[in-house]
Amino acid sequence: MADLGEMRRWLRQAGGTARRRKLGHDEGRRDPIRCNGGTVITRNAAQLDIAPNGNIGSNPTDHRVGGMPTVAFNRTIRVGAPRATAWEAVTDVDRVAGWVSVVGDVTELDRLTRYTAVLTDRLGPFRLSADLDVVVTELQEGTFIRFVADGEDRQVSSRIQIDASLKLDEADPGTDVVVDGRYEVTGRVATLGASMIRTKGDTILDQFFAALAEELG
């Protein structure tokens, strides 16, 4: 039978090994898991988040490559023209394409149903040229139109998706033009950051409403 003292020494050694492993020693390495202020630990180059209750989850920092949150927009302008005149203007795609500098080569495949266009612009180091497929998803003749547009530039591995609507409300005098929607940019262009892309989107909306006000009073 093993000596009682020897057995106690063996148990102490085994317990110490177990505690060291629990504290973060990996087999084959001596560096323990290091804790920085009780918030982040690093182990094998992976970063984890420790919640205030001690639970460990994934790092809350968004590490997506080539994605950005969806950007929503809503603007209203009153023009002097009656609603029928305003509707005629905003559904003339060639006319509307001339109101914004980034849209060209518009083709009407089926009136008030489906169109194609090319969106071209420079964002930072990228020269974007995306072929857009535009589909009308909802239509109330004379008052409301909703469409979705989707396009991809394979040269810069980027995609843009738009879901927008335009509504005309009678006003006294004139017409209220309400534009509402959202857009999302993914791919390499999105790595420029949401702020730059949002600024570009605001510029396009500014151009549209400025031209609309000039033409319809």
Contacts of 126 (CB under 8 A, 6+ apart): 156, 158, 188, 189, 192
Q: Is residue 198 scored above 80 in pLDDT?
A: yes
- Look at the pTM and tell me if it is higher than 0.85: no
**How many CA atoms, within 13 angstroms, populate the side-chain half-sphere of residue 16?**
6
- One domain, residues 9 and 95: no
In a domain, 65, yes or no: no
In a domain, 177, yes or no: yes
Q: Count how many domains the chain has.
A: 2
List the structure tokens of 71.
């950007």
Q: Is residue 3 scored above 80 in pLDDT?
A: no
- At residue 10, the pLDDT reads 54
- One domain, residues 52 and 86: no
In a domain, 64, yes or no: no
Q: Is residue 163 scored above 90 in pLDDT?
A: yes
184 burial type by CB count under 10 A (0-12 exposed, 13-18 middle, 19+ buried): middle
Q: Which of 13, 31, 58 is the last residue of a domain?
A: 58
More confident residue, 128 or 37: 128
- One domain, residues 119 and 186: yes
Q: What is the mean pLDDT of the chain?
A: 77
- One domain, residues 50 and 134: no
- At residue 31, the pLDDT reads 39
**pLDDT grade, residue 189 (50/70/90)?**
confident
- One domain, residues 152 and 82: yes
CB 134 within 8 A of CB 116: yes
Over residues 75-103, mean pLDDT: 95
- At residue 126, the pLDDT reads 87
Q: Which domain holds residue 111?
A: 71-216
Q: Is residue 184 scored above 60 in pLDDT?
A: yes
- One domain, residues 132 and 207: yes
- At residue 41, the pLDDT reads 29
Q: Is residue 207 scored above 90 in pLDDT?
A: yes
**pLDDT grade, residue 6 (50/70/90)?**
low
- One domain, residues 9 and 111: no
